[in-house]
């Protein structure tokens, strides 16, 4: 453990209420270290780290990037649960969560068409107002920010003549 990390852990140990958080983090780290060699042959691209594991009420939640990774882990669940039980963990169920990685579409947010040779449809006031209205009525979230970016892109395209292929 690096010196700044060690100092942070020591400071948290003295903080009221932080001991439960530290215990959960340590359990997640131990589980990840135990399962990593078992999952590596199944999913070579998955780096099983403490941040991907969360043990709550006998259920181990593992965060993965794709549905395929989730399916592979569910298939291996009996073997993984047996390994955890053999090491003294009271884990009765393994569940996965899919956390999609951030990706961007080429040309996202640009006024020009992102697919050369293909025209983009004309922007109408009705369409732009619908996007603005939808963004306005959503709570602050990724979806709201995406709609706001879409509205800015549409405003940039408004009044331009669509390209012909």
Q: Identify which of 112, 160, 158, 106 has the alpha carbon closest to the alpha carbon of residue 131.
A: 158
Round the average pLDDT of the chain to a whole number and report it: 80
The predicted-structure confidence for 110-125, as pLDDT tens digits, reads as follows 556 566 666 667 788 8
Q: Report the pLDDT value the prediction gives residue 62, as an integer from 0 to 100.
A: 92
List the chain domain ranges. 3-98, 105-165
Percent of the chain surpassing pLDDT 70: 73
Question: Is the whole model's pTM more than 0.85, yes or no?
Answer: no
The predicted-structure confidence for 119-158, as pLDDT tens digits, reads as follows 667 788 888 888 888 888 888 888 888 888 888 888 888 7
Q: Is the pLDDT of residue 94 over 80?
A: yes
DSSP code per residue over the chain: --HHHHHHHHHHHHSTTHHHHHHHHHHHHHHHHHHHHHHTTT-TT----GGGEEEETTEEEEEESSHHHHHHHHHHHHHHHHHHHHTT----EEEEEE-PPP---TTTT-SS-SSTTSPPPPPPHHHHHHHHHHHHTSPSSHHHHHHHHHHHHHHHHTTPPPPP-
The predicted-structure confidence for 27-55, as pLDDT tens digits, reads as follows 889 999 999 999 988 888 888 887 788 98
Q: Report the pLDDT value the prediction gives residue 165, as an integer from 0 to 100.
A: 47
Percent of the chain surpassing pLDDT 90: 24
């Amino acid at each position: 453990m690096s010196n700044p990390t060690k100092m942070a852990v020591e400071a948290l140990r003295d903080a009221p209420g932080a001991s439960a958080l530290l215990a959960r983090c340590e359990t997640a780290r131990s589980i990840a270290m135990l399962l990593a060699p078992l999952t590596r042959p199944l999913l070579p691209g998955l780096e099983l780290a403490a941040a991907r594991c969360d043990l709550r009420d006998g259920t181990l939640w593992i965060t993965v990037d794709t549905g395929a990774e989730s399916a592979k882990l569910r298939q291996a669940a009996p073997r993984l649960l047996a390994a955890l039980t053999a090491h003294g963990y009271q884990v009765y169920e393994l569940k996965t969560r899919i956390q999609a990685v951030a990706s961007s579409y080429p040309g996202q947010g640009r006024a020009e068409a992102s697919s050369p040779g293909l025209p983009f449809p004309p922007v109408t006031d009705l369409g732009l107002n619908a996007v603005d209205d939808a963004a306005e009525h959503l709570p602050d979230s990724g979806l709201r920010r995406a709609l706001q970016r879409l509205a800015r892109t549409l405003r940039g395209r408004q009044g331009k003549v669509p390209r012909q292929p």
